[in-house]
Amino acid sequence: GQNIDQPTEMTATEGAIVQINCTYQTSGFNGLFWYQQHAGEAPTFLSYNVLDGLEEKGRFSSFLSRSKGYSYLLLKELQMKDSASYLCAVKTTSGTYKYIFGTGTRLKVLA
């Protein structure tokens, strides 16, 4: 079956670094996305990995290991506005493209 696991909640301090992990078991893997979602708002795109390795984009980086079914999102120099849910989503192809979302990790940044 298709399954994506993320921690439910994490807490970190302003200015620190936090790593949010995501493990997946899917068929027809075709890429992994990270989205940020503030409470009551729609998800917004953060990053995309389709090949193994690290993708860096400013304060945010995302890593993928396809052989291990594992990804992480790394947030550096945390700011209060980074308090949000972070959704891991896997794109799969089984005749048609489909996105499967994890339940999200709620990150609280403390002053």
Q: Which residues bind another protein (CB under 8 A)?
A: 4, 30, 33, 35, 40-45, 48, 87, 89, 91, 96-104
Which one, 9 or 14, has the nearer CB to another protein?
A: 9
Distance between CA atoms of 92 and 98, rounded to whole angstroms? 5
Distance between CA atoms of 54 and 61, rounded to whole angstroms? 7
Query: C-beta of 43: minimal distance to another protein in Å?
Result: 5
Query: C-beta of 106: minimal distance to another protein in Å?
Result: 8
Query: C-beta of 39: minimal distance to another protein in Å?
Result: 10
Which one, 16 or 102, has the nearer CB to another protein?
A: 102
Distance between CA atoms of 44 and 100, rounded to whole angstroms? 15
Query: C-beta of 15: minimal distance to another protein in Å?
Result: 28
Which one, 48 or 70, has the nearer CB to another protein?
A: 48
Among 11, 10, 20, which Cα is nearest to 111's? 11
